[in-house]
């Protein structure tokens, strides 16, 4: 039995870990590429981290070799054809919503951002995860990509298009732009806030209405199935009206004796007295009102404690 | 040597707070002292106003920034580290964890229609949003200010840190100040909008709620709210998680920690750093005055809409099942202050009418409602 539980828990944890790692890899995307003939600064590949957490590109593989798409290849065979992005360097860590530039100039001895292949128009670019099996992202660069142009991804429409003004590491702050657009749109189309009030109140009411319907039905069904007569010998739970009468009587006493002088404390004392008096174990709607005084501040407690110490 | 001592002392004097201070710093220090006085002498939300008041004093002690890493906004400063919980918005969800672990939702489960009262009171947020737009605030700033109407400090901090970080100090102080003033603001509107006959309505006693219902509530509650409005996930997730810790009865230790020690630590740091963020240069502006005016409107609208919504519901409820409109004010999420006001008002007009339990329903619904409203605003504008 115990072994079974351990197996189930291990399986669940493994599933969670696998899912987490897949999420991390999937948030890395090719976002813009330029070839040897297209820009002055040389061919480059821009990879964007679309998530809100830092992702490290270290340990991933990248290539322009179309042979890697052959599904018959084993992982080691595919890895042989690709360039490994070195691990253990903070340069490859991409902060949320940011990007990294890799120089596909064929000079990987110039630094870890330089790749061992040179990108030309018509090439493919493929990004593989560290196991050499999972294809993260790939694109084919148009063969007619001209000088001064790049091939860039529009994350809004999820399509690639020709970019006449390449924007290495710059045009990727889509989220801030989207946020500004949202605000500008509300400012323009809903200057008095009526639409926002209707929509947002609609959302609030929808959620609460759903909860109301669910718990109305659930509560009814449940109270039907659990309604059992109270056991003989056990005190039956008092009704609210009984409790009300008792509270009223106690309030009258506290009023007549002016209580402790603190209304909240009086209510707390009454609640405590009621709790001690009535069987409250399963009764709904018990509120505990914390008294504002503590034994350190309460005169009566201090005196009692003092008497104990002296006795 | 005397020249050297003279020069150094002269330098030292230029670094003192007295030499660097401006009149605005002293005003803010007085405001901080006033907050502490309110908390100690008038018992207005001492758990919040004492840390905030002291934080205001701390944040307004002037100094020359020469890379000593001591200021709230300086990298690597201890205060900056504490402030990250506010700036990055992770204190509010931790407070919601504590609220969830401390809150008993049975009053709500016993009478689920009270959820809708909690929803109606959120109109205070959107009423204030519309007024804020009229006063010339940008939609994101208006949303940050309007959330004050939810009467929920952590939610206000969470949303303003995301949408209008430059106004966060003023919004947080305003939200907490008005929460402390709930007993002053609400009774006037409650009295104005209800008749004597309505104030003495005795509500039907609540039914028993089983343990299973209480365990199911946080799970279903999370699914039904966060699936619709995922942007409210940090607040709603932690609120319902805290409640599950409490209601499962198997994690009492965790619930106790979340609701006591952890909550107290976060409240201390949150209050202190929010107070610190109200530096005179940022705080003493015309916008702050507007925010305080808007906050008052937001609270008033929330109270009015809650009370009126209960009256509206009563039109459809048959005799014996009617709700006392005095519980409508409790739709704001100032727990349990707003419910206590309903109780006090109820007892004032009928000594046998105890509304506290009934008012706790809309009160805890208000917590959920304001978190959903914050999520909706963040979703639309964030």
pLDDT in tens, A134-153: 898 999 998 888 777 888 88
Contacts of B40 in chain A (CB under 8 A): none
Which A residues, 96 through 115, put their C-beta within 8 Å of a C-beta on chain B? none
pLDDT tens, position by position, B18-27:
888 888 889 9
Whole-number Cα distances in Å, B328 to B110, B186, B282, B367 = 17, 10, 36, 14
Contacts of A223 in chain B (CB under 8 A): 207-208, 210
- Candidates A204, A206, A229, A290: best to mutate against B (most CBs of B within 10 A) is A204
Rounded distance between C-alpha atoms, residue B236 and residue B104, angstroms: 16
Q: What pLDDT score does B278 carry? A: 84
Give me the mean pLDDT over the A246-259 stretch: 59
Of A245, A251, A285, the CB nearest to B110: A285
Q: Do B110 and A219 touch (CB under 8 A)?
A: yes
Q: Do B43 and A207 touch (CB under 8 A)?
A: no
Task: Work out the minimum CA distance from B173 to partner chain A, whole angstroms.
Answer: 24
Least confident segment among A298-302, B33-37, B276-280: A298-302
Cβ of residue A272 closer than 8 Å to a chain B Cβ: no
Contacts of A188 in chain B (CB under 8 A): none
Q: What pLDDT score does A306 carry? A: 46
Would you say residue B370 has pLDDT above 90?
yes
Contacts of B110 in chain A (CB under 8 A): 219, 284-285
Rounded distance between C-alpha atoms, residue A47 and residue A128, angstroms: 12
Mean pLDDT (chain A, rounded): 74
Contacts of A248 in chain B (CB under 8 A): 351-352
Q: Are B363 and B335 in contact (CB under 8 A)?
A: yes
Residues forming beta bridges with residue A62, ordered by sequence position: A83, A127
Q: What pLDDT score does A243 carry? A: 56
pLDDT tens, position by position, A158-201:
788 888 778 787 654 455 566 677 888 888 899 999 999 999 99
Cβ of residue A52 closer than 8 Å to a chain B Cβ: no
Q: Do B351 and A240 touch (CB under 8 A)?
A: no
Q: Do B380 and A182 touch (CB under 8 A)?
A: yes
Of all residues in chain B, the percent with pLDDT exceeding 70 is 99
Cβ of residue A262 closer than 8 Å to a chain B Cβ: no
Which A residues, 235 through 254, put their C-beta within 8 Å of a C-beta on chain B? 237, 239-241, 244-245, 247-248, 251
Would you say residue A310 has pLDDT above 60?
no
CA atoms within 13 A on the CB side of A281: 5
pLDDT tens, position by position, A40-88:
566 899 998 887 788 888 899 999 999 999 888 888 989 988 999 988 8
Supply the DSSP symbol for A105. B
Q: Which residue of A has its CA nearest to B217?
A: A215
Of all residues in chain B, the percent with pLDDT exceeding 90 is 59
How would you classify residue A145: left for phi > 0, otherwise alpha for psi between -120 and 50, otherwise beta? beta
Q: What are the percentages of helix, strand and coil residues in chain B, rounded to 5?
A: 75, 0, 25
Contacts of B227 in chain A (CB under 8 A): none
Of A182, A192, A204, the CB nearest to B130: A192
Q: Do B224 and A211 touch (CB under 8 A)?
A: yes
Give me the mean pLDDT over the A240-257 stretch: 58
Domain spans of chain A? 2-185, 190-226, 238-287
In 3D space, the residue among B181, B196, B225, B157 whose CA is nearest the CA of residue B332 turns out to be B181
**Who has greater pLDDT, A118 or A267?**
A118
Q: Do B106 and A284 touch (CB under 8 A)?
A: yes
Q: Do B208 and A223 touch (CB under 8 A)?
A: yes
pLDDT tens, position by position, B160-203:
988 988 888 889 888 888 887 888 889 999 999 999 999 999 99
Would you say residue A91 has pLDDT above 80?
yes
Query: A–B: how many Cβ contacts below 8 A?
Result: 163
Fold of A2-185: Immunoglobulin-like (2.60.40)
CB-based burial, A290-300: b 16+ in 10 Å, e otherwise:
eeebeeeeeee
Contacts of B129 in chain A (CB under 8 A): 193, 196-197
Q: Do A208 and B369 touch (CB under 8 A)?
A: yes
Taking residue A211's Cβ as centre, other Cβ atoms within 10 Å add up to: 25
Rounded distance between C-alpha atoms, residue B30 and residue B23, angstroms: 11
Contacts of B380 in chain A (CB under 8 A): 182, 186, 196, 199-200
Would you say residue B224 has pLDDT above 90?
yes
Contacts of A182 in chain B (CB under 8 A): 380-382
Of A199, A211, A287, the CB nearest to B356: A287
Distance, C-alpha B54 to centroid of its chain: 18
Of B127, B134, B210, the CB nearest to A226: B210
Q: What pLDDT score does B330 carry? A: 92
Would you say residue B275 has pLDDT above 50?
yes
């Amino acid at each position: 039995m115990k072994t079974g539980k351990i197996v189930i828990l291990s399986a669940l944890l493994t599933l969670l870990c696998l899912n987490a790692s897949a999420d991390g890899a999937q948030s890395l995307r090719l976002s813009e590429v330029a070839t040897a003939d297209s820009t002055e600064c040389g061919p480059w590949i821009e990879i964007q981290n679309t998530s809100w957490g830092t992702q490290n590109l270290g340990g991933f593989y990248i290539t322009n070799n179309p042979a890697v798409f052959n599904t018959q290849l084993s992982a080691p065979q595919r890895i042989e054809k690709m360039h490994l992005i070195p691990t253990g360097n903070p340069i490859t860590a991409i902060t949320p919503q940011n990007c990294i530039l890799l120089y596909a100039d064929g000079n990987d001895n110039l630094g870890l951002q330089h790749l061992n292949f040179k990108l030309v128009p018509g090439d493919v670019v493929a990004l593989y995860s560290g196991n050499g099996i999972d294809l993260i992202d790939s694109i084919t660069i148009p063969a007619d990509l001209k000088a001064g142009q790049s091939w860039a991804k529009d994350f809004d429409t999820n399509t690639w298009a020709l970019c006449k003004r390449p924007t290495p590491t710059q045009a990727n702050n889509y989220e801030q732009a989207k946020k500004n657009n949202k605000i500008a749109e509300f400012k323009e189309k809903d200057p008095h806030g009526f639409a926002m009030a209707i929509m947002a109140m609609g959302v609030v009411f929808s959620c609460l209405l759903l909860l109301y319907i669910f718990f109305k039905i659930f509560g009814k069904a449940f109270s039907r199935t659990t309604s059992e007569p109270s056991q003989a010998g056990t005190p039956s739970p008092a009704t609210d009206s009984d409790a009300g009468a008792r509270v009223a009587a106690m309030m009258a006493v506290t009023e007549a004796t002016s209580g402790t002088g603190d209304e909240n404390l009086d209510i707390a004392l009454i609640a405590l007295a009621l709790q001690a008096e009535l069987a409250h174990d399963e009764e709904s709607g018990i509120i505990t009102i914390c008294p504002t005084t503590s034994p350190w501040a309460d005169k009566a407690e201090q005196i009692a404690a003092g008497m104990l110490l002296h006795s | 040597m005397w020249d050297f001592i003279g020069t150094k002392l002269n330098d030292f004097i230029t670094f003192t707070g007295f030499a660097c201070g401006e009149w605005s710093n002293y005003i803010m220090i007085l405001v901080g002292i006033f907050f502490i006085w309110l908390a100690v002498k008038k018992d207005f939300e001492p758990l919040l106003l004492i840390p905030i008041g002291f934080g205001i004093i701390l944040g307004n002690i002037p100094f020359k920034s020469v890379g000593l890493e001591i200021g709230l906004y300086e990298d690597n400063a201890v205060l900056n580290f504490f402030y990250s919980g506010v700036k990055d918005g992770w204190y509010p969800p931790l407070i919601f964890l504590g609220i969830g672990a401390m809150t008993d939702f049975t009053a709500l489960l016993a009478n689920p229609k009270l959820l809708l009262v909690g929803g109606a009171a959120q109109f205070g947020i959107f009423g204030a949003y519309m007024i804020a737009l009229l006063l010339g605030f940008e939609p994101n700033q208006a949303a940050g200010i309007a959330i004050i109407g939810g009467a929920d400090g952590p939610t206000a901090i969470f949303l303003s840190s995301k949408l209008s970080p430059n106004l966060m100090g003023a919004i947080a102080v305003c939200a907490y100040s008005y929460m402390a003033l709930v007993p002053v603001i609400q009774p006037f509107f409650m009295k104005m909008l209800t008749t004597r006959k309505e104030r003495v309505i005795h509500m039907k006693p609540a039914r028993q709620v089983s343990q299973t219902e209480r365990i199911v509530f946080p799970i279903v509650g999370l699914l039904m709210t966060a699936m619709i409005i995922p942007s409210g996930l940090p607040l709603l997730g932690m609120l319902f998680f805290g409640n599950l810790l409490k209601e499962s009865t198997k994690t009492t230790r965790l619930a106790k920690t979340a609701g006591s020690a952890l909550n107290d630590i976060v409240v201390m740091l949150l209050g202190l750093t929010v107070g610190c963020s109200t530096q005179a240069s940022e705080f003493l502006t015309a916008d702050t005055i507007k925010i305080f005016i808007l906050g008052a409107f937001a609270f008033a609208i929330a109270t009015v809409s809650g009370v009126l919504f209960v009256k509206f519901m009563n039109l459809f409820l048959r005799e014996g099942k009617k709700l006392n409109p005095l519980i409508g004010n409790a739709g704001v999420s100032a727990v349990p202050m707003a419910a206590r006001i309903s109780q006090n008002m109820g007892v004032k007009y009928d000594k046998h009418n105890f509304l506290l339990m009934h008012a706790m329903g809309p009160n805890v619904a208000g917590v959920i409602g304001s978190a959903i409203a914050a999520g909706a605003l963040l979703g639309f504008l964030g």
